[in-house]
Structure 1
Amino acid sequence: MQSYGRIYTPYTRGNFKYYRPYGWKRIALKVLDNDWLGAKDRMNPFNSVDGEWINSYHGTAKGNVEPITKDGFDLSKGINFEFGIGIYSTPYIEIASGYATRFNYEGETYKVVFQNRVKPNTFNIENFRRYFVTSNDRDIRPYGICIQKCNASFSPLCCIN
């Protein structure tokens, strides 16, 4: 499990800005192939490589974690399609956190957000670049689970570092 610090460094993935999940614990998911992650040809950690998919985040409820982890996203289970039908994600973990529901584990409260990759040119960008709407659920793939401990008095998002 990796924990990211608070220093913001510019990264790109799929030629889009990538904002790392600072303040969250990240657990990697096992994926069948990783060409879309751009892992093979990366010369440095800051830049994109050819064929790499774009990074995004998707906040959800604890009960959705197992099905998404096992089977990926399922468009038929979506709700609230404000900007059209699709799987909604965002380049900002803070926005995704607003869609994650709190859950309790061993006396502590947490939120969970999926870290994904989105296939380039398969999604619409909505609401001033805040949301990616991917109409085909096979064009967005989870590759990490981000978890954060919550504190209701800290912020409207109820999360602490």
Structure 2
Amino acid sequence: MKKKDPGGKVVCTNKKAYHDYTIEQVLEAGMVLSGPEVKSLRAGKANLKDGYAQVRQGEVFLYNVHISPYVFATHYSPDPLRPRKLLLNRKEISKLIGKVKEQGCTLVPLKVYFNEKGKAKLSLGLARGKKHYDKRESLKKQEADRDMERVMRRRRD
């Protein structure tokens, strides 16, 4: 499975996903979009906050991702919350099906970006939900890391 960093412009990120889930694996997927949706993405008008992906009939679809209608579109504007098909290889989809069914993981969109070739891509995370005490533990770890960095900066100065 592909594991790449976005090389182009990042449109939007889902910061809440890292707070609510433990991300086990990250995939890169293409999206089937219409013309006005791509222009709206280039303008940075997208929201991944409540989005999720599901495997249906051997295909992966993205739900509840809001891409605002493009203001200057001359023809129809599609529904901003419509389900969008994700483009993945057959092997990747079969691995996802196994992990989602057996291990109880979910598919969470992490970020939307444009790659070097100008194609809209979605970074999709295979995630496991955090319990409340896990969230508190990760916050404590972040605060401890920040404190250590402050001390190290003071020593350098």
Q: Could you say which TM-score interval applies, normalised by the shorter chain?
A: 0.3 to 0.5
Tell me which of the two structures has the higher relative contact order, counting C-alpha pairs closer than 8 angstroms and 6 or more residues apart: 2
| Pair member with larger Rg | 2
Query: Which of the two has greater helix per residue?
Result: 2
> TM-score if structure 1 supplies the norm length?
0.32
